[in-house]
Amino acid sequence: MSKNMPTRLTAVFLVLLLGALVVACAMQPAVAPTTSAPAPTATPVPPTDTPVPPTDTPVPATDTPVPPADTPVPPTDTPLPPTATEAPATAEIPPAVDGLDVLQRRCTSCHGLENVVVARRSEADWGATVQQMIGYGAELTEGETEALVQYLAETYSQEITPALDGEALLKGRCTECHSLSRVEQARKTEADWQKTVQRMVGTGAALNEEEQAAVIKYLAETYPQ
């Protein structure tokens, strides 16, 4: 029995020590288990074998003709306007028109001057006569017409009343439409010659009343019935 005593004491000591450890462990607070973070899950990568559109799209042609670089430049030597202020051109004053010159150049192409020199008319009547001649074809400008009418009215005015020459009037006025042979072959009374002269005046013969009387008197005396 004395030999087993130490063994028993050792066993008792171990049992007490183990019990103390158990109690000590039971008295400590429980530690929450460490939660480990979930491992990241790998996101599936979509397949990369999607067909890529072809890159060999035809490029538009770049060989468009380029205009030549040596395009002629317009000349720069254009004359510049004068910087000095130029005086405005003075309007030229047309020369005065000579009525006698117009009469000789324009009127004698159709009849002689004896038709004019035996006539005596007012300015208004000369204006009407000139317009009548223009209607027959006389070529007169406006300036020539004014100058001619003024010359005739001043030179052969109605106020000048010399003795009228029936023969000169006959040759000057009546031969514009017919020859003298028609007159020389006729034989009429003074009343008949008056009707003939009035008929001629109605067809355009330029004779006033005094001139008509002078012509009728001359015809009746020279070519009586």
Rounded CA-CA distance 134/106 in Å is 10
Sign of CA dihedral 61, 65, 67, 69: positive
Is residue 164 scored above 80 in pLDDT?
A: no
Q: Per-residue pLDDT tens for 118-129? A: 777 889 999 999
Least confidently predicted of 110-124, 127-141, 191-205: 110-124
Q: Is 209 left (phi over 0), alpha (psi -120 to 50) or beta?
A: alpha
DSSP tag of 178? S
Domains of the chain and any CATH numbers: 97-162 (1.10.760.10), 164-225 (1.10.760.10)
pLDDT band at 111 (very low <50, low <70, confident <90, very high): confident
Is residue 45 scored above 80 in pLDDT?
A: no
Q: Per-residue pLDDT tens for 170-184? A: 888 888 788 888 888
Rounded CA-CA distance 145/130 in Å is 7
Indicate the helix (H) or strand (E) that contains 196.
Answer: helix 190-202
DSSP tag of 224? B
Rounded CA-CA distance 25/21 in Å is 6
Residue 144 CA: distances (Å) to CA of 32, 38, 110, 153, 197: 139, 126, 17, 14, 32
pLDDT band at 33 (very low <50, low <70, confident <90, very high): very low
167 and 218 Cβ atoms separated by less than 8 Å: yes
Q: What pLDDT is recorded for position 134?
A: 93
- Listed in sequence order, the residues at least 6 apart from 146 whose beta carbon sits closer than 8 Å to its beta carbon are 97
Q: What pLDDT is recorded for position 53?
A: 57
Q: Per-residue pLDDT tens for 73-108? A: 566 666 666 555 555 555 565 678 899 899 888 888
The CA angle 160-167-121, to the nearest 5 degrees, is 30
User: Which of 175, 187, 177 minimizes the C-alpha distance to 222?
Assistant: 187
Write down the mean pLDDT value for the chain.
76
Is residue 29 scored above 80 in pLDDT?
A: no
209 or 65, higher pLDDT: 209
Is residue 8 scored above 80 in pLDDT?
A: no
Q: Per-residue pLDDT tens for 128-159? A: 999 999 999 989 999 999 999 999 988 888 76
pLDDT (mean) for 184-197? 92
End-to-end CA distance of the chain: 227
- Listed in sequence order, the residues at least 6 apart from 144 whose beta carbon sits closer than 8 Å to its beta carbon are 97, 102, 106
